[in-house]
Homo-oligomer: A and B are copies of this chain.
Amino acid sequence: MVNLVALILIVSTTLFSLGEARTRHYKWEVKYELKSPDCYKKPTITINGRSPGPTIEAQQGDTVVVELKNSLVTENVAIHWHGIRQIGTPWFDGTEGVTQCPIIAGDTFIYRFDVDRPGTYLYHAHYGMQRESGLYGFIRVSLPNGVLEPYSYDYDRSILLTDWYHKSAAEHTAGLTSDSFVWVGEPQSILLHGRGRFNCSGIASEQCNQTSTECSSPHTLIVVPGKTYRLRIGSLTSLAALSFEIEGHNMTVVETDGHNVEPFVVQNLFIYSGETYSVLVTANQDPSRNYWTNVKVVSRNSSTPNGLGIFNYYPNHPRKQPPTIPSTGPAWDDVAPRLAQSRAIKARQGYIHTPPPLTDRLIVMLNTQNKVNNFVRWSVNNVSFNLPHTPYLISLKHNMLHVFDQTPPPNGYDFKTYDIFNQSENKNATTSNSIYRLNFNTTVDIVLQNANTMNFNNSETHPWHLHGHDFWVIGYGTGKFDMFKDPANYNLVDPIMKNTVPVHPYGWTALRFRADNPGVWAFHCHIESHFLMGMGVVFEEGIEQVGELPNSIMGCGDSKRFLKP
């Protein structure tokens, strides 16, 4: 019924469209349902019964309205529109603790925002660890009528990559936040747009059933021989960095995070949580057989088996097994090709946004694992982040400065003595909810500096995501960033703009952005458990230019007082 209403609304807005900006209205019910995406039955957060949820389809300049009914019974919720800058609507960024109070169980909340740029974006829960329970989907924004992408294709397809745990987010959260620290461990499966396949042997069939219709057939991408596909690939893994490949097929990278990429060809695409890519794939191989789509965890020595799907040449049967053994994929610990791919991504000629030549402020962010009061945490410059209970946007706008720590967080770390290549006990880390306040309309450089974790000979990959902005990716390096020498090698000519970028093991990544979007914006590692463990910061800019906050984001902590009849 809800679906039908939504469908009618979409169809009616489409019928009456004459090319002008439209409102795309979605009516969603968010609910736990028992789902078996990889054959193992688990309470899964669904939207209108589905995980991944429905794809939001809009055109550049449209207004998207999502009327969200929270039917989670005892849990609140918040949804972040990942890659949408929320210009003029910072209160609808969907980040619990930063831009809004959570949507109380039973309540209905209306998100309303403009999609001002074409491209491939994501949405997902941004509250506790609800994302890993299945609350996510795509946002696809098309070009204005009559405007074409600078590349051509016959069909447009999407595939969302996620990892899947059998334990609940509540259990993971309890493990990470209670006295007896328990790490979440490796996911049990990789899901290709909600489809995986776990080996159920030894588990009761009522719990894990490989003949369930939900998992008995793998993810299938049907292609017509000779045709070219724009394949939009997004990753919303909770932990895993991935390599994606289609057996025997080259992929040409043409878009990432809503920006056109100077095309380059890959056999396997490395993709980190929070990133999107469009690749072009031509069905130009032997059409008498099918091929594997193959998704492998990289950067961790993971026990998670590869996620496998079928690249199905029509009219072969979609379940016809490819005659080959799936490739094992790239070595998990080979950083070089991942760094090479990162460096290969440049803005497409003709679509270059030139960055400002100079920066007003540099913040170096040392990424470390720490112990704080016997809890394992992640930190930036030895400060491990905690969200306050009253959202920053509300407390800053209403000048309630008592609700969070007013001491500015550090702009750097002890560059001279800190050894990024060795284990550090990092005993001096602290937790804080303090934030960076940026001068409005200034240019800010961030250098993410990776380091060894608390384990011997181990440095992880962290995908950092910035809310409310795209940034220029102006440099990647290995070892310790040198603020006096390395900026000379920045790419200020044709850097790609993105909203999510990896920092590679023992390396650094340099970003530049303009603090030109009034609001309060999270910037954090997109690994869900890492953010919960403190790996994030918050930026405020132009708070005085933020308009009147809507009533609907209020209701928690000290914001109750601002609710108006």
Contact = CB atoms under 8 A, between A and B. Distances in A.
Interface of A: 31-34, 42-43, 49, 73-77, 101-102, 104-107, 127-128, 130, 168-171, 173-175, 177-180, 182, 389, 551, 555-557, 560-565
Contact of A104 (B31, B34, B101, B180): B101
Contacts of A173: 32, 43, 73-74
23 contacts: A32-B177, A34-B174, A34-B180, A74-B76, A74-B77, A74-B102, A74-B127, A74-B128, A74-B170, A75-B75, A75-B76, A76-B76, A76-B104, A76-B105, A104-B556, A106-B557, A107-B389, A107-B556, A168-B171, A170-B170, A561-B565, A562-B565, A563-B563
A140 to B, nearest CB: 28
B557 A43 contact: no
Contacts of A562: 565
A389 B178 contact: no
A102 B75 CA distance: 10
Copies assembled? 2
Contacts of A565: 561-562
A524 B389 CA distance: 34
A393 to B, nearest CB: 16
Given A106-B556, A557-B107, A74 B178 contact: no
A389 to B, nearest CB: 4
B556 A560 contact: no
A443 B339 CA distance: 79
Which 9 pairs from chain A and chain B are nearest by CB? A74-B128, A106-B389, A32-B174, A561-B565, A33-B178, A43-B174, A563-B563, A73-B128, A43-B171
B560 A561 contact: no
Contacts of A182: 34
Contacts of A107: 389, 556-557
A73, A128, A551 — which one has the most chain B CB atoms within 10 A of its CB? A73
